[in-house]
Amino acid sequence: MIFFVLARADNGVIGVDGRLPWRLPADLKRFKALTMGRPMVMGRKTFDSFPAPLPGRRHIVLTRDATWHAPGAEVAHDVDAALALAGAGEVAVIGGAEIYALMLPRADRIELTEVHCTPDGDARVPAFDGWREIAREAHPADGDRPAYDFVTLVR
């Protein structure tokens, strides 16, 4: 099973300058819970955004650069190779925008944090049309943190 984990603003923004445009500790905690012990497929820029590989998870990096490598990264150059490295079981796709677009036809579930703000950003993901919502948990704004919803979508 392939599932996406991402936070997306109301305007589609998922990132700016290689980082998240908001600080939501509950979203980071949810990300950790959803990905712990599972292989994660990501693009090179997403991998580079981490200060170090995240403990307890495999980092499968999908890149077109045949010479790229990094400690803690398993490198794949196409979707089929990335999924072969991941093996059987649940595979978390964690970004960025190009990787979500490549993997969308194969995804079974989306674990989405809808962040209710409209920040500037250089990475965007379109709305997930044609998916069915099966769970939603709303969280109000808190100080400078925007309101957000944890949403689970399935085909």
For 53-102, the pLDDT digits (tens) are 999 999 999 999 999 999 999 999 999 999 999 999 999 999 999 999 99
Instruction: pLDDT band for 3, please (50, 70, 90 cuts).
Output: very high
Q: What pLDDT sits at residue 102?
A: 96
For 101-137, the pLDDT digits (tens) are 999 999 999 999 999 999 999 999 999 999 999 999 9
Q: What pLDDT sits at residue 128?
A: 95
Q: What pLDDT sits at residue 151?
A: 98
Pick the closest to residue 91 from 35, 147, 50, 151 (CA basis): 35
Domains delineated in the chain: 2-154 (3.40.430.10)
Q: What pLDDT sits at residue 6?
A: 98
Q: What pLDDT sits at residue 133?
A: 98
Instruction: pLDDT band for 2, please (50, 70, 90 cuts).
Output: very high
Can the peptide bond before residue 96 be classed as cis, meaning omega within 30 degrees of 0?
A: yes
Q: Is the Cα dihedral 24, 71, 42, 31 positive or negative?
A: negative
Q: Can you tell me the distance from the alpha carbon of 92 to that of 54, in angstroms, rounded to the nearest whole number?
A: 13
For 9-45, the pLDDT digits (tens) are 999 999 999 999 999 999 999 999 999 999 999 999 9
Look at the pTM and tell me if it is higher than 0.85.
yes
